[in-house]
Amino acid sequence: MAFESLNRDNVVDFLADIFARRGGESYMGEPVSMSEHMLQSAALAEKAGAPDSLIAASLLHDIGHYTSEFPEESLEQGQDNYHETAGADVLTAFFPKSVHEPIKLHVAAKRYLCATNPEYFNRLSPASVNSLNVQGGPMSDEEVADFETHEYYRDALRLRVWDDEGKFAGAQTRSFDDYRPLLTGLLVATER
């Protein structure tokens, strides 16, 4: 399926297509594939009783790895590809802030939690510790205070924890298609 332009009618198909074609790729140094990881994150959000917008954010939080022009291995190689921004940018036109803002903040949320919660750092996987250094390390006090001014920072922190936990090899989850009604229900009116 070719997507020359994205619109409200095809964006969910576009996302499904990415999951289908690219989801089998490995999640940088973790024992799960990218689609398994994002589906597990969404499942954890559902289990926690999160609103639909935050379930959608969890499901789509790493989609930016596929919209960036940088190869996905670039993070492992020590260059931050800003996948959280790339992902949020694509979603901005189609989903409300409650979906794309937590995605945009999910890497900063890790830096925030490392600065504010010593136990959090100790639970990070080796791959996640490695990428933390590339991403700028724990936040400074000023950065922590600034992070807390974002409207959706608490949602970003919740998403972050599910992101960190969604790495179980072989765990059963629902499929992307199961989330189509939820995603479609969140689409915002768009001119495109």
Contacts to Fe ion by CB under 5 A? 62, 163
Output the smallest distance, CB 14 to Fe ion, in A.
19
Residue 30 or 147: which CB sits closer to Fe ion? 30
Output the smallest distance, CB 2 to Fe ion, in A.
27
Output the smallest distance, CB 62 to Fe ion, in A.
4
Residue 101 or 163: which CB sits closer to Fe ion? 163
Identify which of 80, 154, 152 has the alpha carbon closest to the alpha carbon of residue 116. 154
Residue 26 or 190: which CB sits closer to Fe ion? 26
Residue 37 or 95: which CB sits closer to Fe ion? 37
Residue 62 or 155: which CB sits closer to Fe ion? 62
What is the distance between the alpha carbons of residues 81 and 72, in angstroms, rounded to a whole number? 8
Output the smallest distance, CB 189 to Fe ion, in A.
29
- Residue 112 half-sphere exposure toward CB, CA atoms < 13 A: 22
Residue 53 or 128: which CB sits closer to Fe ion? 128
- Asked if residues 186 and 51 have their Cβ atoms less than 8 Å apart, the reply is no
Output the smallest distance, CB 185 to Fe ion, in A.
23
30: which 2 tokens?
A: 């973790």
Output the smallest distance, CB 65 to Fe ion, in A.
9
